Structure 1
Amino acid sequence: MFGLVATPAVAAASPSGGWEGTWATSVHEAHEGFFPNWSLQGFANQTVRQVVRVSQGGPAVRIQLSNRYGKAPIELAGATVGRAGEAEEVSGLRPLTFKHKKSVVIPAGGEIDTDVALLPVRPLESLTVTLYFAKPTGPVTYHGLGFATTYRAAGDHQNDRDGLVFTEKSESWYLLSGVQVLDPSPKRDVVVAFGDSITDGYGAGANTNDRYPDELAERLRGRFGVLNQGIGGNQVLTDWDQAGEAAVKRFKADVLDQPKVRTVIILEGINDIGISDGAGSLVSAKQLIEGHRTLIRQARSKGLRVIGATLLPYKGSPYYSDRGEKVRDELNNWIRTSGEYDAVVDWDKVMADPNDADLMNPAYDVGDGLHPNAAGYQAMAASIDLNTL
């Protein structure tokens, strides 16, 4: 990873601080995915403009780009960062450099940081990261369920401010894995939300920033960073090519390797239950508990505070069965009562139908019995005791 480029402005802003996450996403290998995307075809003489909303502010930023699952190096011809306006418009455009150079080669399996970009950002501000690929990339590492519009155009348009040429659209993020801000405080205070599609925000709607980690960031109003490391379809114990490596495998890269993380909220397990049940070999609660214990041990090895979240009701969803429900109940009971987590957020109870505890409250259900809607995600965030963070 590239270090901070020393400048008087940065030195004055942060004599003893450093980089701290303000936005992140969990990347996975190129795949046709749950929804159409550009990851398998990659890019060639094309510009990609991606929009993200940060959680905390700072006097300067840097961007993380990942080729973690790439089989070949990827050459990036140029990049910029700016403040997002209407549609594809950008203001405050700044060039992104790599050891003072405009272009860079991201090695296969590698990740890089840009040099510092002197773009002050405010909490909950939306930024654009624009990447120009002159040469064919081949398949690219990406995040499938971005639920935010990404734009593409032929040719080099990294410095365009009006964005009129960006006529092609996707709802995934490509190579982009993180945004960090310069933090003048040396405190360790970042929160990571780690999980599956419910953390990822399925059901919240595109470009709404209504995922539960977004709502948590709004409650915190920039006091510290909130990073969303959810992957739709992710499982605790099993890899799935379109839904990332198992949680126990990806935890290091997505949580432990993030700078200044203090707390992680873990919501994982419903996909293990539903997918294994459908395949006729239902995972046991004991297996899931051991998986959660593995995550707890990994977190504690780095001194992190670990919050366990109970699995939401899922009766009425395509995943549901009576025997799967018994596994969910047993896992939830262990999360609540074992004392192995530092704290618990009981989303099973928060999200339950008052008339049937195995059903999600209809007011919070996006309509599939499994995923919350925007009101549900708001209720999840509102139920988190901020003192536990």
Structure 2
Amino acid sequence: MRTTHTLRRTAIALLTTATLALAPTALATTDHTGAGTSWRGAWAASPQAPTQPLTPNWSQQGFDNHTVRQAVRVTASGTRTRIELSNRYGTTPLRVTGATVARTAEGGAVRPGSVRTLRFDGRASTTIPVGGTLLSDGTPFPVKAFESLTVTLYLAGETGPTTFHHFASATSYRADGDHRADVSGTAFKETSTSWYFLSGVEVTGGRDTARRSGIVTFGDSITDGVGAATDADNRYPDELAERLAAAGSPRAVLNQGIAGNQVVNDTTWAGEKALTRFREDVLNERGVGTVILLEGINDIGGSTVTFPAAPTPDVSVTALIKGHRTLIRQAHARGLKVIGATLTPIKGSFYESPANEAKRDAFNDWVRTSGAYDAIVDFDRTVADPADPDRILPAYDSGDGLHPNDAGYRAMAGALDLDRL
């Protein structure tokens, strides 16, 4: 069961955010309870169990007297900020010796004068129980949409295997010893392209305070942003947030994609099935009114490949549709609008086969014609090659026939009807 010590959880900003003139180790007054405030998500990443199927990471060995520094770009503005840490898949209580938030500079560095100590129920350190999630106290740390924040965690003791998010498409940094207040990135000599323990950033205050205006993008690797350039924030949810802001309708867009994830099957390396994680990753998000569902291609193809793990059980189109109907029903019960998305092309990828293509076509036909969603977006036709509609357009292909590149993700964001959102 999810636990917490606090209540749970613009055009693209071109104006320079004023830096608060506090010393790097200064403490600010914090809000221990969140009472009377309207917190909303500004950034998110879906937690996963430790694994190492494709790229090296630190999740299985964990940390011991390490400082971990992670930069994330928020999509909402606010006057106060807090972070969410997850020990959802930990096997022992997680001791966080200390944490800071700062404004990102180059590499592992942060901007001078911007470091703020985060507190947890008024204390600098905290322990998160096995399976738990914890929100920090709110701290006066104004942020603008599309600003990059750096969260630094000092973990003095052994953590054991860690809850993390595998494909961050962003660089994280690690240093030996306590460097949570460092401005320079000199001590951070190791890097990873995953996020560790950090599962959310929330804000309150500011202008874009419309109740439940946020959007969750939920899905697999194509939501997660596999194929996008590292540290460029060009995943389709990033591009959607930028497009909304440019249209004068800024809204938080929270990315809850997990590469390899399936709707119906749990996997050993790509997270719990959507039917399980939907409650935690979508329904429990603050300030959300819409969810975009793009998931199912791994259910269709997972039984036909042998990497990066053993094949998963075959999933029929009927079972996949049933899974989507369950997610839609759960979202509607919480008052969320649901946007359904067609599955993008697979010809030329490791999922290509006549049987898989027939399933994809049948599922996409259901998305387009069933009326089960509040609205749909046809990502299939958006990125398909007009000369060969079962294949992704070469200009949009990251190179594997399955995942879009930056241009492809930009086209996907452009396909969404902003009025329907």
TM-score (norm 2): 0.88
Answering whether residue 159 of structure 2 is matched by residue 132 of structure 1, we say no
Question: Aligned-pair distance for 1:242?
Answer: 1.1
Aligned to 2:405: 373
Aligned to 1:253: 280
Answering whether residue 165 of structure 2 is matched by residue 143 of structure 1, we say yes
Q: Give 2:200's match in structure 1, choosing from 161, 168, 178.
A: 178
- Paired with 1:357 and 1:282, the residues of 2 have a C-alpha distance of 25
Provide the secondary structure at the position in 2 that maps to 1:131. Answer: strand
Native 8 Å contact 1:89 1:161 kept in 2: yes
Answering whether residue 391 of structure 2 is matched by residue 388 of structure 1, we say no
- Paired with 1:246 and 1:15, the residues of 2 have a C-alpha distance of 34
Native 8 Å contact 1:189 1:225 kept in 2: yes
Native 8 Å contact 2:6 2:134 kept in 1: no
Question: Aligned-pair distance for 1:10?
Answer: 8.7
Native 8 Å contact 1:33 1:144 kept in 2: no
What CA deviation, in whole Å up to 9, does each residue of 1:145-195 have, x standing for no partner? 011000000000000001111010000000000000114635111100000
What CA deviation, in whole Å up to 9, does each residue of 1:42-84 have, x standing for no partner? 1111100001000011101000000001111011100000110
Answering whether residue 65 of structure 2 is matched by residue 59 of structure 1, we say no
Question: Aligned-pair distance for 1:223?
Answer: 1.6
Native 8 Å contact 1:16 1:186 kept in 2: no
Native 8 Å contact 1:189 1:224 kept in 2: yes
Answering whether residue 206 of structure 2 is matched by residue 196 of structure 1, we say no
The one-letter amino acid of 2:318's match is: K
The one-letter amino acid of 2:243's match is: R
Q: Give 2:364's match in structure 1, choosing from 316, 326, 332.
A: 332
Question: Aligned-pair distance for 1:34?
Answer: 2.2
The one-letter amino acid of 2:100's match is: T
Q: Give 1:217's match in structure 2, choosing from 241, 261, 265.
A: 241
TM-score (norm 1): 0.96
Aligned to 1:34: 54
Native 8 Å contact 2:78 2:144 kept in 1: yes
Native 8 Å contact 2:44 2:201 kept in 1: yes
Question: Aligned-pair distance for 1:281?
Answer: 6.0
- Paired with 2:131 and 2:360, the residues of 1 have a C-alpha distance of 36
- Structure 1 segment 229-240 matched on structure 2, within 5 A: 229-240=256-267
Question: CA 1:137–1:280 in structure 2 vs 1: closer, same or farther (change >3 Å)?
Answer: closer
The one-letter amino acid of 1:253's match is: E
The one-letter amino acid of 1:277's match is: T
Provide the secondary structure at the position in 2 that maps to 1:47. Answer: strand
Provide the secondary structure at the position in 1 that maps to 2:419. Answer: helix
Alpha-carbon RMSD: 1.8
- Structure 1 segment 1-389 matched on structure 2, within 5 A: 1-3=4-6, 17-91=37-111, 92-183=114-205, 185=209, 187-221=211-245, 223-278=250-305, 279=311, 282-389=314-421
Provide the secondary structure at the position in 2 that maps to 1:326. Answer: helix
Native 8 Å contact 1:34 1:144 kept in 2: no
Question: CA 1:281–1:47 in structure 2 vs 1: closer, same or farther (change >3 Å)?
Answer: closer
- Paired with 1:65 and 1:358, the residues of 2 have a C-alpha distance of 41
Provide the secondary structure at the position in 1 that maps to 2:142. Answer: coil
- Paired with 1:299 and 1:280, the residues of 2 have a C-alpha distance of 26
Native 8 Å contact 1:194 1:267 kept in 2: yes
Native 8 Å contact 1:145 1:200 kept in 2: yes
Question: Aligned-pair distance for 1:313?
Answer: 0.8
Provide the secondary structure at the position in 2 that maps to 1:118. Answer: strand
What CA deviation, in whole Å up to 9, does each residue of 1:249-293 have, x standing for no partner? 100000000012100000000001111234496421111100110
The one-letter amino acid of 2:76's match is: Q
Native 8 Å contact 1:17 1:186 kept in 2: no
Unaligned runs of at least 5 residues, structure 2: 8-27, 306-310
Question: CA 1:17–1:75 in structure 2 vs 1: closer, same or farther (change >3 Å)?
Answer: closer
Provide the secondary structure at the position in 2 that maps to 1:105. Answer: strand
- Paired with 1:16 and 1:209, the residues of 2 have a C-alpha distance of 33
Provide the secondary structure at the position in 1 that maps to 2:395. Answer: coil
Question: Mean Cα displacement is larger for which, 325-334 or 85-94?
Answer: 85-94
Native 8 Å contact 2:30 2:119 kept in 1: no
Question: Aligned-pair distance for 1:33?
Answer: 3.2
Question: Aligned-pair distance for 1:9?
Answer: 8.7
Provide the secondary structure at the position in 2 that maps to 1:59. Answer: strand
Native 8 Å contact 1:366 1:372 kept in 2: yes
- Paired with 1:15 and 1:174, the residues of 2 have a C-alpha distance of 28
- Paired with 2:411 and 2:396, the residues of 1 have a C-alpha distance of 8
The one-letter amino acid of 1:169's match is: T
Q: How many residues align?
A: 384
- Paired with 1:143 and 1:262, the residues of 2 have a C-alpha distance of 24
Identity across matched positions, percent: 54
